[in-house]
Amino acid sequence: MSPSDESTVPRHPIGVVSDRTRLSQDVLRVWERRYGVVEPGRSGSGQRLYSDADIERLRLLSLATQTGRTIGQVAGLPTPDLAHLVHEDEEARGVAGDQDIGAEPPNDVIVPALERAIALDGPGLDSLLRRAMLTIGMPAFLDTVATPLLTRIGDEWDAGRLAPSQEHLAAAVVQRVITAAMHTVTAVPGAPNLVVATPAGERHEIGAVLAAAAAAAEGWRITYLGADLPANDIVDAAIHTNADAVGLSILYVADRRHVIEEIMLVRGRLPASVPLLLGGAASASLSGEIQGEGVRVLRDLGELRQALRRDPAVVFG
């Protein structure tokens, strides 16, 4: 048997393929079922077996999707064309040259992360996101990985291309990774304190987690209260911890009047010197109906950082 013939002999179990390609077993199965990227053989007991050629093709597909392409865009390419495409990508990265060797650019994370969410591969998604966090740091991760990934997941959900289980798994893993990283940040003694929550009726917690992590990275001490909390409890926590500011995240509004009432109740009971910061996708739509001074609506994490860094009314209370 010639070497070229040997390369097509199916002999590697899926665990070996996963290890060599850095693709989870769930992603491999999804790619095979939906896109027919390879056709593994079967052992006598029905176990998938892959050839050396299969592994090389899957390795090239993995690399091709790490530059922002979807698997659907490259699955039909012959293996030589895939190799040429990956070579061009590697040359382009070499010309760019100013990135650290081994760094994982944020755009290389979104597509494989979405693939893992579709495959319900929680451990694989967790590992991918933690590596990205370690590579680029928490502030960049929040802006260039977590936020666009969550936006993409939301778009896929709205379009009916994600099942509830897939959307929930992705959001839960993103939140877990951010929360774990946030707990590693220790504020210096005397750091200002930000109380973060979502108001009663708002059960979507991820926006509050993003805001808390961004503030922690700015050196603030965080009192994180979680989701769906009544106004009186938020204010009591702010007073008890001598908060310098309170942040509320509002992603969806089910009962507009109730949410506005809760926000205004928080504002009314807080000391006048403690600003109330509102963020999240739905907060801008409420700004025209929120009365009183000391309420600031922030469009994104960048505005939150600016407020925490530069606004004396926030920084000094």
108-139: per-residue pLDDT in tens? Answer: 789 899 999 999 999 999 999 998 888 788 88
Predicted local distance difference test score (pLDDT) of residue 293? 73
Angle at 162 between CA 157 and CA 164, to 5 degrees: 85
19 vs 117 pLDDT, higher one: 117
pLDDT of residue 68: 61
In the chain, where do the E strands start and end?
12-13, 41-42, 48-50, 193-199, 221-229, 245-249, 276-279, 295-297
CB of 149 closer than 8 Å to CB of 117: no
**pLDDT 10s digits, 88-105:** 877 765 544 344 433 444
Give me the CATH topology for the region 3-96.
Multidrug-efflux Transporter Regulator; Chain: A; Domain 2 (1.10.1660)
In the chain, residues under CATH classification 1.10.1240.10 are 107-182
Contact 128, 116 (CB under 8 A): yes
Is the predicted pLDDT of residue 80 greater than 70, yes or no? Answer: yes
Q: Which range has the worst mean pLDDT, 15-24, 64-73, 152-161, 257-266?
A: 64-73
Residue labelled with tokens 């990275």: 217
Q: Is 196 left (phi over 0), alpha (psi -120 to 50) or beta?
A: beta
pLDDT given for residue 253 in this prediction: 78
pLDDT recorded at residue 3: 46
Contact 256, 199 (CB under 8 A): no
In tens, the pLDDT along 177-223 reads 999 888 888 777 888 999 999 999 888 899 999 999 999 988 899 99
Residue 154 has pLDDT above 90, yes or no: no
For residue 70, count other CB atoms closer than 10 A to its CB.
Answer: 12
Mean pLDDT of the chain: 84
The CATH topology of domain 107-182 is 1.10.1240
In the prediction, which pLDDT does 67 show? 65
Strand ordering across the sheet containing 41-42: 12-13, 48-50, 41-42
C-alpha closest to that of 276 among 217, 218, 317: 317
274, exposed or middle or buried, with CB in 10 Å at 0-12, 13-18, 19+? buried
With a cut of 90, say whether residue 158 has pLDDT above it: no
Q: Where in the chain is the domain with CATH 3.40.50.280?
A: 193-315
Lowest model confidence (mean pLDDT) among 63-77, 129-143, 250-264: 63-77
CATH fold, domain 193-315, is Rossmann fold (3.40.50)
Q: Out of 44-48, 65-69, 153-157, 277-281, which region has the weakest mean confidence (pLDDT)?
A: 65-69
User: Which residue in 109, 123, 169, 166 sits closest to 18, CA to CA?
Assistant: 123
Write out the residue limits of the CATH 1.10.1660.10 domain(s) in the chain.
3-96
Residue pair 245/274 in contact (Cβ under 8 Å)? The answer is yes
Share of residues in the chain with pLDDT > 90 (%)? 41
Which residues, in sequence order, are bridge partners of residue 12? 50
